[in-house]
């Protein structure tokens, strides 16, 4: 079968820009579409191509004509969901291909894609389930595959068998098809340094359940680690990329796996730099692990500090404390690791809270603070909790840089304070 896997273009809308002319929040994101490379890796008996519309935004029509796919698969984050429906409509009009959607939005809010232009919705990890679907389509079978819902074209709600994601869903022996994006690779750079960056997955899912986070349904809350040899294989394949971003939602979540991986990287004689998302409580429990990773090339860690007081952290079900965050920062500074700190600004913030956060970031010398606005992503616990307060339902605004709930401060002032916080952070940035 000819399968075209499509990464949607950079999309999303900006309220601060549209309403108040604050343009400094706009960012262009590019990174290789690892999800699509991963899926392609387990479709070896098929003819697969990847189209990255983030690099080539107008490429869909010509690729539909030149490749004539039998099946088109889209991946989508929440802010890309409307765009994917629009693109699927264009596929429907111009080809007879079956249309499948998967990824984070399909996993948290599958019903959103239950519409005329989508044929199947893949929920959670798809590396194993997608080839099962492709086979069923090829044989024209109507089999039920756990984790996959057949669109009813909005005639009735979706129904599907839940999938118990486990190690076999990682299909470790099938390598991601990094080669399928070779033409785009020069665009996948770490903007702050202009360095080429490659993406590698060493673990999927997260056992925590923070109320704003959308990771849970990808694996049903399970934490699945890739085989050590698999991770080494993937890092080695990305020979030309000096920086590797581990894309795991929660890297080093299994410390013994992380120790073994560090040993294996050293043993393989690999000299690269790494960027990983870790939890602060893990840093405090495992400072030696971080030290070991620093020795083998860890350059920066991304930490979701989220908030600076315990009450706010507990409301998020973060299962962590402000004191632990501070302790982790001290350890990371001591180790000389760059700290990329994620903070979540509630629309409820007062001027005083903006000031406090600004002071915290400066006092704690967070190297690169990344501020997002608390956003109730559909399908999350937060969304259920605050549903009645949501004033913007258009998913184009769910970029985590828009207040989709009312702000306590005058809205323009809120965005001005938000923009200046981002500016302060980024003008201090060193990664």
Q: Which residues sit at the interface with ligand B12, rule CB under 6 A?
A: 7, 10-12, 29-31, 33-35, 38-39, 54, 73-75, 77-80, 100, 102-105, 107-108, 122, 125-127, 130, 199, 201, 214, 218, 247-249, 372, 377, 399-400
Q: How many CB atoms lie within 10 A of CB 384?
A: 11
Instruction: Return the number of the residue (62 or 168) whose C-beta is nearest ligand B12.
Output: 168
Distance CA 275, CA 300 (A): 5
Distance CA 31, CA 198 (A): 8
Query: Residue 18, CB half-sphere, CA atoms under 13 Å: how many?
Result: 9
For residue 200, give the DSSP letter. Answer: E
Would you count residue 203 as binding ligand SF4 (CB under 6 A)?
no
Would you count residue 210 as binding ligand SF4 (CB under 6 A)?
yes
Q: Which of 99, 133, 181, 249 binds ligand SF4 (CB under 6 A)?
A: 249
Instruction: Return the number of the residue (226 or 249) whose C-beta is nearest ligand SF4.
Output: 249
Answer for the pair 317, 211: CB distance below 8 angstroms, yes or no.
yes
Query: In which element (H, E) is residue 305 found?
Result: strand 298-306
Which of these, 201, 240, 194, lies nearest to 224 by C-alpha position? 201
* Residue 77 binding target from ligand B12, ligand SF4, none, CB below 5 to 8 Å by type: ligand B12
Would you count residue 250 as binding ligand SF4 (CB under 6 A)?
yes
Distance CA 74, CA 69 (A): 13
Instruction: Return the number of the residue (14 or 324) whose C-beta is nearest ligand SF4.
Output: 324
Instruction: Return the number of the residue (91 or 206) whose C-beta is nearest ligand SF4.
Output: 206
Answer for the pair 429, 368: CB distance below 8 angstroms, yes or no.
yes
Query: Residue 219, CB half-sphere, CA atoms under 13 Å: how many?
Result: 21
Instruction: Return the number of the residue (127 or 279) whose C-beta is nearest ligand SF4.
Output: 279
* Residue 209 binding target from ligand SF4, ligand B12, none, CB below 5 to 8 Å by type: ligand SF4
Would you count residue 405 as binding ligand SF4 (CB under 6 A)?
no
Smallest distance from ligand B12 to CB 301, Å:
13
Instruction: Return the number of the residue (247 or 308) whose C-beta is nearest ligand B12.
Output: 247
Answer for the pair 71, 209: CB distance below 8 angstroms, yes or no.
no
Q: Which of 90, 132, 135, 209 binds ligand SF4 (CB under 6 A)?
A: 209
Would you count residue 279 as binding ligand SF4 (CB under 6 A)?
yes
> Residue 4 pairs with which residues in a beta bridge?
49, 72
Distance CA 124, CA 163 (A): 8
Smallest distance from ligand B12 to CB 256, Å:
21
Instruction: Return the number of the residue (249 or 261) whose C-beta is nearest ligand SF4.
Output: 249
Q: Which of 117, 206, 262, 275 binds ligand SF4 (CB under 6 A)?
A: 206
Smallest distance from ligand B12 to CB 14, Å:
11
Q: Which residue is nearest to ligand B12 (CB)?
A: 102
Would you count residue 344 as binding ligand SF4 (CB under 6 A)?
no
Smallest distance from ligand B12 to CB 107, Å:
6
Instruction: Return the number of the residue (131 or 217) whose C-beta is nearest ligand SF4.
Output: 217
Distance CA 291, CA 22 (A): 41
Number of chain positions touching ligand SF4 (CB under 6 A): 10
Query: Residue 92, CB half-sphere, CA atoms under 13 Å: how many?
Result: 13
Would you count residue 215 as binding ligand SF4 (CB under 6 A)?
yes
Angle between helices 60-67 and 81-94 (to 10 degrees): 40
* Residue 206 binding target from ligand B12, ligand SF4, none, CB below 5 to 8 Å by type: ligand SF4
The three-state secondary structure class of 195 is strand
Distance CA 94, CA 102 (A): 21
What is the CA 275 to chain-centroid distance, rounded? 14
- What tokens appear for 415 in the block? 């965005």
Query: Rounded to the nearest 5°, which phi and psi values hold at 400?
Result: 70, 15
- What tokens appear for 156 in the block? 């009735």
Query: Residue 242, CB half-sphere, CA atoms under 13 Å: how many?
Result: 7
Smallest distance from ligand SF4 to CB 319, Å:
8
Smallest distance from ligand SF4 to CB 211, Å:
9
Q: Which of 74, 113, 130, 208 binds ligand SF4 (CB under 6 A)?
A: 208
Which of 201-209, 287-295, 349-357, 405-413 is the region at the interface with ligand SF4 (rule: CB under 6 A)? 201-209
Answer for the pair 59, 5: CB distance below 8 angstroms, yes or no.
no
Residues in contact with ligand SF4 by the rule CB under 6 A? 206, 208-210, 213, 215, 249-250, 279, 304
């Amino acid at each position: 079968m000819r399968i075209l896997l499509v990464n949607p273009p950079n999309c999303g809308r900006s309220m601060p820009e549209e309403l108040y002319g604050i343009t400094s929040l706009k960012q262009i994101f590019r990174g290789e579409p690892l999800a699509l490379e991963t899926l392609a890796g387990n479709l070896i008996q098929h003819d697969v191509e990847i189209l990255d519309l983030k690099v080539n935004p107008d490429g869909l029509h010509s690729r539909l004509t030149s490749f004539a796919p039998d099946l088109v698969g889209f991946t989508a984050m929440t802010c890309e969901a409307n765009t994917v429906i629009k693109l699927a409509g264009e596929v429907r009009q111009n080809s007879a291909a079956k249309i499948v959607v998967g990824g984070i939005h399909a996993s948290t809010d599958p019903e959103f894609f239950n519409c005329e232009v989508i044929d199947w919705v893949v929920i959670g990890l798809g590396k194993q389930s997608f080839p099962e679907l492709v086979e069923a389509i090829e044989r024209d079978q109507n089999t039920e595959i756990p984790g996959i819902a057949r669109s009813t074209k909005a005639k009735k709600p979706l129904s599907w068998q839940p999938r118990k994601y486990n190690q076999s869903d990682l299909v470790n022996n099938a390598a991601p098809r990094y080669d399928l994006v070779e033409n785009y690779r020069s665009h996948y750079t770490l903007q702050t340094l202009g360095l080429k960056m490659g993406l590698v997955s060493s673990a999927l899912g997260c056992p925590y359940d923070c109320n704003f986070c959308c990771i849970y349904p990808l694996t049903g809350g399970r934490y699945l680690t890739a085989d050590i040899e698999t991770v080494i294989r993937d890092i080695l394949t990305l020979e030309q990329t000096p920086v590797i971003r581990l894309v795991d939602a929660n890297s080093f979540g299994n410390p013994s796996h992380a120790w073994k991986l560090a040993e294996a990287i050293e043993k393989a004689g690999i000299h690269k730099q790494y960027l990983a998302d870790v939890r602060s409580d893990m840093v405090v429990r495992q400072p030696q692990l971080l030290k070991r990773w620093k020795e083998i090339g860890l350059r920066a860690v991304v930490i979701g500090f989220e908030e600076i007081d315990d009450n706010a952290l507990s409301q998020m079900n973060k299962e962590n404390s402000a004191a632990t965050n501070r302790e982790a920062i001290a350890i990371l500074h001591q180790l000389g690791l760059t700290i990329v700190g994620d903070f979540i600004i509630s629309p409820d913030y007062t001027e005083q809270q903006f000031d406090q956060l600004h002071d915290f970031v400066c006092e704690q010398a967070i190297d690169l603070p990344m501020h997002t606005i608390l956003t109730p992503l559909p399908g999350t616990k937060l969304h259920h909790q605050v549903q009645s307060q949501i004033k913007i339902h258009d998913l184009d605004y769910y970029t985590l840089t828009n207040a989709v709930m009312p702000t306590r401060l005058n809205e323009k002032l809120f965005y001005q304070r938000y923009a200046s916080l981002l500016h302060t952070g980024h003008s201090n940035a060193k990664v």
